[in-house]
Chains A and B, each alone.
Chain A
Amino acid sequence: MRKPCLVGKDKQVVPEDVLSIELTMIESLDSQDVSCWIVDMSDWRKGWQKIAAIREHLSPKVYLRPVVYLHADNSMPAEISKAADGQLAHGLDNSKGLDELSSRFEATNQWIDHLPDPNAAVDANIAFKVLRLIASRNNVQEPVTTVRRKSGYVYPILEPLFSKRDEGALETLEFLEAQKLISGDFVSKAHFCSSCSSAFINFKEACPQCGSDDLNVDELVHHFRCAHMAVMSDFKRGSSMVCPKCDRELHHIGVDYDKPSIMYSCNHCSHGFQEPSIMTTCYNCGRSTEPENQHTRLIRAYSISAIGQNAASYGMEALFSKILDSELQLCSFDAFRDFYRVEAARIKRYKKSESSLVMIALRDIDKLYVRLGGRATEVFAELSTVFRTVLRLSDVITARNESIFFVIMTETSTTYAERAVERLHEGIIELLTNNLDFDPDMSSLIKPITVDMDLDQTLEAFLQS
Chain B
Amino acid sequence: MIFENALDFFLRMDTAKMLAYFWPFFLLDMTRYLLLDVVVISIYSVKNWFQRDKIERARRQLYSEKPLVSLIIPGKNEGKHIPRLAESLARQTYKNIEIVIVDDGSDDDTEEICRKLEQEGKIDRFIRNEVRGGKASAANTAMRFSHGKYIVHIDADSHLAFDSVETILLPFYMDPNIGAVGGDVRVANTGDAFVTRLQGIEYMKAISTGRTVSSELGILRIIAGAHGAFRRDILNRLHGWDVGPGLDGDITLKIRKLGFRVVHEPHAVCYTNVPKTFRALAKQRFRWDRSMVRFRVRKHRDILLMNSNFSILNFLASAENIFFNLVLDFKWWIYIIQIVLFNPSVLEYIFLINLILYMLANYLEFLVACALLHSSMRRRDFFLVLYIPLVPIYTGIYLRIVRTYAYIMEFLHGASYMDKWNPWKVSRVVKREKL
Contacts and interface: CB of A to CB of B under 8 A. Distances in A.
A260 B425 contact: no
Contacts of B132: 260
B380 to A, nearest CB: 39
A220 B105 CA distance: 13
A260 B105 CA distance: 8
Given A225-B433, A227-B137, A260-B129, A272 B241 contact: no
Interface string B269-310: 000000000000000000000000000000000000000000
Contacts of B360: none
A361 B54 CA distance: 86
Contacts of B134: 227
Contacts of A263: 127, 145
B148 interface: no
B429 A274 contact: no
B347 interface: no
B418 to A, nearest CB: 15
Nearest to A271: B125
B127 A227 contact: no
Contacts, number: 78
Contact of B141 (A229, A244, A258): A229
A227 B136 contact: yes
A261 interface: yes
B216 interface: no
A226 B425 CA distance: 13
Contacts of A275: 115, 118, 126
B18 interface: no
Contact of A227 (B115, B128, B241, B425): B241
B322 interface: no
A255 B424 CA distance: 11
Contacts of A336: none
Interface in A230-270: 230-231, 244-246, 254-256, 258-261, 263
B392 interface: no
B125 A220 contact: no
Contacts of A225: 243, 429-430, 433, 435
Contacts of A231: 144
Interface in B410-434: 425-426, 429-430, 433
B334 interface: no
Given A227-B242, A244-B239, A273 B125 contact: yes
Q: Is the interface of B mostly helix, strand, loop or mixed?
A: mixed
A57 interface: no
B276 to A, nearest CB: 31
Contacts of A272: 125, 145
A226 B247 CA distance: 11
A18 to B, nearest CB: 68
Contacts of A416: none
A226 B242 CA distance: 5
Contacts of B240: 227-229, 245
Interface string B126-157: 11111111101110110011000000000000
A404 to B, nearest CB: 53
Contacts of A261: 127-131
Contacts of B130: 260-261
B243 A227 contact: yes
Interface of B: 105, 115, 118, 125-134, 136-138, 140-141, 144-145, 239-243, 425-426, 429-430, 433, 435
Interface of A: 220, 222, 224-231, 244-246, 254-256, 258-261, 263, 272-275
Given A224-B430, A254-B425, A274-B126, 19 more contacts: A220-B141, A224-B429, A225-B243, A225-B429, A225-B430, A227-B137, A227-B242, A228-B140, A228-B239, A229-B133, A229-B140, A245-B240, A258-B133, A260-B130, A261-B128, A261-B129, A261-B130, A261-B131, A274-B128
28 contacts: A220-B129, A220-B141, A224-B133, A224-B243, A224-B430, A225-B243, A226-B243, A227-B133, A227-B136, A227-B137, A227-B242, A227-B426, A228-B140, A228-B239, A228-B240, A229-B137, A229-B140, A229-B240, A230-B144, A245-B240, A255-B425, A256-B429, A258-B131, A260-B129, A260-B130, A261-B130, A263-B127, A272-B125
